[in-house]
Amino acid sequence: MSTYSRRRFVQMGSLASASFFVPKFLKAFERKAIAENKILVVLQLSGGNDGLNTVIPYNNDIYYASRPVLGIKKNDVLQMDDEQGLHPALKGLKALYDNGEMALLNGVGYPNPNRSHFRSMDIWQSASDSETVINTGWIGRYLDAQCLHADKPTLTMEIDDTLSLALKGKNNTGIAVNKPKQFYGDSHDSYFKAILQKHPVNDEHLNVDYLYKTLAESMSSADYIYQQSKIYKSNVSYPNTNIGKDLKTIAELINSHIDTKIYYVSLSGFDTHVNQHPQQQRLFTDMSDSINAFVKDLKSSNRFKDVMLMTFSEFGRRVGQNASGGTDHGTANCMFLVSGVLKKQGILNAAPDLTDLDQGDLKYQVDFKDVYATMLHNWLKTDDANILNRKNNYLNFI
Amino acid sequence: MGISNEKLQHLSWRAGFGQLTSAKEPDLQKLVRNLIRHNHTKPDAISTQESVELVQNNYTYSQIKADASLRKLIAQKNRDGIKNLNILWLKEMFTTNRPLREKMSLFWHGHFACRVQNVSHQEKLLQIIRENALGNFGDLLTAVSKSASMLAFLNNQQNKKQHANENFGREVMELFTMGRGNYTEKDVKEGSRAFTGWAFNKEGDFVFRQNVHDDGQKTFLGKTGNFDGDDILKILLEHKATAHHITEKIYRFVVNDTPDEQLIADLAEKFYHSNYHIGNLLETIFTADWFYDKKNIGARIKSPVELIVGMERKVPATFANDNALLLFQRTLGQVLFYPPNVAGWPGGKDWIDSSTLLYRMRLPQIVYASEEFNIRPKPMPEEMDNSYTSSNIHDDLQKKEFMNRAYKNKVKVTANWDAFLDKFTAISSEALPKAVADDLLVNLPQIVNTSLLEKYAVAYNHPTEIKKMAVNLMSTPEYQLC
């Protein structure tokens, strides 16, 4: 008899029916409709996606010479212009491109690139430069800037069980939700409710009150998200994969007019040192079909005009293939932007210059922080310099 | 007269993981002195099967270079080895009767953050830290700086006279010693020149490579000479900024997240004049009246490792598969040997977000009440690398399926409640909430709504009542604090 079920007792307990009370310092979270409700969806491709086999310079001899086995044949490429085309598995993205709903940024990166997964991911998520370590994420700092009193805990949301650095601010953190129903169930434990209710209100600066505040926020958010998630059920069929389900969850939340402005979601498996072809084929099919379903869903509810989806990966891969049918860690990479209201569509800048390499790696043309700045300033209408702590150049796709 | 329970609890958490085995000593000065002196014997090294095998096999560079499958095997051994090293060290924390040593080792493990995929190197670094955790900071700094792990992690193998790499030199100053704002970029350059030639051999032992060392004159923090790496460390230790930086960090770890400038300045001065004796610094702190001020008690948020170890030391649990311990660390955001970056874990409120707080509060139920574990942490970057984990797509899919299964299962665990129950069997149900809370929580004034605890612990027999009470108390925000 070393274990027992607390839940079983709780069902019989008198407190199970106690009403849910939020301490005074929390108030009820006010859920006002946001006037201009533009939404950003960030799709992280974890592992370092091979950009040169994503957007293929199909008329470039250096490309084929560097990749005698891995190079994608000209006839298989989904051609965009007479220089570049998409990987054959990216049919969904190609359709968006043809509709003027997709834009491509080539050669996105940062100075002194780091080829370690975890460090480079840190740099992208914290929006730091290569030499500085910052313990907050760029979306977390956006949250800090938006809500001084944590009045909108669901403003930024990651679709996952755990929260990425990107969504951690100094004073506020985003919320991680994998499945709204499960999150609701886990947080609405009647014992948790009861201790929250009994907690005496004290000085907010003490850690114990910080913890209670976080607990109250989680429960309130879980409740809100779960209730909202029931409002709209998608009719569109998505791939039965993690990313398919995640994007479906996001579409349903967007269509139920929840107050979330930034969604964060990731797809992993892009670290293709070995046998790259079948892996990229599978991942791209999954990604492209999921994004396509997502767009269809948003169009059906007339919300595509309010949504911008952006993809990134912590680095691209080396120009030359390796000896194992794969590619090793590289530097600059492409990013896709998907939206119904792109000011500039299609290919936004020149293809990577394969004649001008840095020790076999691409040189970056666009600093990723300028892409973030454009999203923050032109799309989310906020003070990007403050969040990114630098003076930025805006790009012209919004 | 003895030491009050509140003081003892406080000390036991700051000098360990919440359970002092030597707490019977009635005199505080003596108790603290014993805690520190205890650690004068060298700890036995923690060693994994994997590193033993790798050392025995002693593959040559040319063997490794020529054979891709051998490389894969070695990489796998290293990864498994580091996982086992993680678990072995964690278990040492569970059971050690030298908790202060492991506690301070955990501190230095974060201070000298290092993430490399070589189990033998990591074992050596851990041992350096455990041997010097309460000794002389200069010795610790030198040994860590000469460890293969750190030299590799901070790229000093690439720091050569002809082509400098300043990563190591910079971090030694910024993170290990003085902290930012006390030196110039020029100092980083000059210091890095002095570290050229600091390297390690195949066995992971330090070597000085004269042929790549820059033996010219350097001007570093106002001094000029033909400095080598040892000289640079010596100069850094001569600067009081180093004593201040280290003292402040220790203060934040054992006293309070919010620094008290005056106290830290005084402590740093003493630390400096004791020639950086860590044990002495801790003795001063743990015997000071201000250390036991109300504002310091229960002021810290436990790190995930402290939380897990604290639970284990109260109610030991044995897992059918020790990977559960890794899963908990990953879900809560602190995996030993996998610091997030060179600066280590930021700690404090950074441990807490909506999800980690809920997992923390559910953890006691998962471990002691077989609640389902339905959380899947993100893969670690090292695991993404498919050149090591899978040779083809099928392996990859299989691995994913395995992960799915593992995470949806209940964690198979046997808890040993005997010692815990013994403390409370003689206590009546009415007195139980207060007694169990006294034992589990350090910050009593905040908590304990006894009627609530009673309601949620109603049971048909006394032992079950005690268990429920304990698990419910561990599932509170207050229990996250120490």
Q: Which of A32-36, B41-45, B410-414 has the lowest mean pLDDT?
A: A32-36
pLDDT band at B205 (very low <50, low <70, confident <90, very high): very high
- Which range marks the domain in which residue B447 is found? 416-480
Which DSSP string corresponds to B210-223? GGG---S-EEETTE
List of chain B residues whose C-beta atoms are within 8 Å of the C-beta of residue A9: 456, 458-459, 468
Mean pLDDT over the full length of chain B: 90
* Interface probe with B: pick from A1, A2, A246, most Cβ of B within 10 Å: A2
Q: Are B438 and B426 in contact (CB under 8 A)?
A: no
B382 to chain A: which residues are within 8 Å by CB? 117-118
Give B477's contacts in chain A (Cβ within 8 Å).
Answer: 195, 199, 208, 211-212, 215
From the list A2, A271, A279, which residue is nearest B415 (CB)?
A2
Helix axes B354-368, A180-187, angle to 10 degrees: 60
B71-108 tens-digit pLDDT: 889 999 999 999 999 999 999 999 998 999 999 999 99
Say if CB A108 and CB A102 are below 8 A apart. Answer: no
Q: Which of B383, B414, B445 is the last residue of a domain?
A: B414
Q: What does the alpha-carbon distance between residue A54 and residue A335 come to, in Å, rounded to a whole number?
A: 10
Q: Is the residue at B121 inside a domain? A: no
Give the contacts of A294 (CB within 8 A, at least 6 positions apart): A238, A247, A248, A250, A251, A309
Q: Is A28 inside any structural domain?
A: no
Tell me if B445 is assigned to some domain.
yes
| Closest Cα in chain B, distance from residue A34 (Å) | 23
Residues B342 and B420 in one domain: no
Cα distances (angstroms) measured from residue B409 to each of A161, B321, B371, B403, B454: 16, 12, 10, 10, 31
Q: What is the pLDDT of residue A73?
A: 97
Instruction: Please identify which residue in the block is written with the tokens 């925000």.
Output: B477
Whether A153 has a pLDDT exceeding 80, the answer reads: yes
pLDDT digits over B252-305, tens only?
999 999 999 999 999 999 999 999 999 999 999 999 999 999 999 999 999 999
Residue B230 has pLDDT above 50, yes or no: yes
B340–A165 CB contact, under 8 Å:
yes
Residue contact B341–A122, C-beta within 8 A:
yes
Of A117, A266, A273, the CB nearest to B387: A273
CA-based nearest distance A113→chain B, Å: 14
Give the distance from residue B27's alpha carbon to the nearest chain A alpha carbon, in angstroms: 31
ipTM of the complex: 0.91
pLDDT of B133? 97
Q: What is the pLDDT of residue B340?
A: 92
Choose the weakest-confidence range: A145-159, B129-143, B174-188, B415-429: A145-159
Cβ contact A219:A188 at 8 Å: yes
Quote the minimal CA–CA distance from B276 to chain A in Å: 27
DSSP sequence for B242-293: HHHHHHHHHHHHHT-SS--HHHHHHHHHHHHHTTSBHHHHHHHHHH-TGGG-
CB contact under 8 A, A208 and B298: yes
Instruction: Output the 3-class SS for B38-84.
Output: HHHCCCCCCCCHHHHHHHHHCCCHHHHHHCHHHHHHHHHHHHHHHHH
A275–B459 CB contact, under 8 Å? no
Instruction: Give the strand pairing for A102-109 and A366-367.
Output: parallel
Note whether residue A34 is domain-resident: no
Tell me if B347 is assigned to some domain.
yes
Strands (E), B395-469: 413-415
- Say if residue B285 is in the same domain as residue B375: no
Confidence (pLDDT) at A196: 87
Q: Tell me, yes or no, whether A106 lies in a domain.
A: yes
Q: Is the model's pLDDT at A320 over the cut of 80?
A: yes
**Contact across the interface for B350 and A207, Cβ inside 8 Å:** no
The minimal CB distance from B475 to the residues A160, A191, A217 is found for A191
Q: Looking at B414, B440, B468, which one is the last position of a domain?
A: B414
Is A24 within a domain? Answer: no
Which chain A residue lies closest to B338 (C-alpha atoms)?
Answer: A118
- pLDDT above 90: percentage of residues in chain A: 76
* Mean pLDDT across B429-443: 89
Total domain count, chain A = 1
Q: Are A142 and A262 in contact (CB under 8 A)?
A: yes
Are the beta carbons of B331 and A162 separated by less than 8 Å?
Answer: yes
Is A201 within the bounds of a domain? Answer: no
Asked if residue B78 is part of any domain, the answer here is no
Q: How many domains does chain B have?
A: 3
Nearest chain B residue (CA) to A194: B452
State the first-to-last Cα distance of chain B, in angstroms, to the nearest integer. Answer: 25
pLDDT band at B371 (very low <50, low <70, confident <90, very high): confident
> Which domain CATH number covers A99?
3.40.720
Helices (H) and strands (E) in chain A, counts: 12, 14
Do the beta carbons of residue B275 and residue B327 sit within 8 Å? Answer: no
Q: Is residue B47 part of a domain?
A: no
- Test the B interface: residue of A118, A219, A260 with most B CBs within 10 Å: A118
* pLDDT value, residue A148: 62
More confident residue, B249 or A149: B249
Domain range spanning residue A116? 41-180+234-388
3-state DSSP assignment of residue B85: helix
Is A53 a residue whose pLDDT tops 70? yes
Residues in chain B: 482
Q: Are residues B381 and A121, on separate chains, in Cβ contact within 8 Å?
A: yes
CB nearest to B352's CB, from A2, A194, A214: A214
Element (H, E) at B235: helix B229-238
Cα(B20)–Cα(B13) distance, rounded to whole angstroms?
Answer: 8
Q: What is the pTM of this model?
A: 0.91
Residue type, A328: D
- Per CB-CB distance under 8 Å, the chain B contacts of A118 are 115, 340-341, 380-382
Q: Is there a contact between A207 and B467 if contact means CB atoms under 8 Å apart?
A: no
Closest-CA distance, A77 to chain B, in angstroms, reads 23
Residue A31 pLDDT > 80:
no
Distance from CA of A29 to the nearest CA of B (A): 16
Residue B345 lies in a domain: yes
Does B425 share its domain with B471? yes
- Give the model's confidence band at A147: pLDDT under 50 very low, under 70 low, under 90 confident, else very high: confident
Flag whether A241 is in a domain.
Answer: yes
Q: With 80 as the cut, is the pLDDT of residue A4 above it?
A: no
| pLDDT, mean over chain A | 89
Buried b (16+ CB within 10 A) or exposed e, B438-458: ebbbbbbebbbbeebbebbbe
Is residue A58, in this structure, part of any structural domain at all?
Answer: yes
Residue B365 lies in a domain: yes
Same domain (yes/no): B403, B424: no
Within 8 A of B352 by CB-CB distance, chain A residues are: 173, 210-211, 214
Which has the higher per-residue pLDDT, A78 or A15? A78
pLDDT tens, residue by residue, A206-261: 788 889 989 998 999 999 999 999 999 999 999 999 999 999 999 999 999 999 99
* Interface contact B369-A3, CB threshold 8 A: yes
Strand partners, B317: B415
Please report which helix (H) or strand (E) contains residue A308, including its range. Answer: strand A307-313
pLDDT at A206: 76
Q: Are B388 and B75 in contact (CB under 8 A)?
A: yes
In a domain, A79, yes or no: yes
Examine the pLDDT at A95 and tell me if it is beyond 80. yes
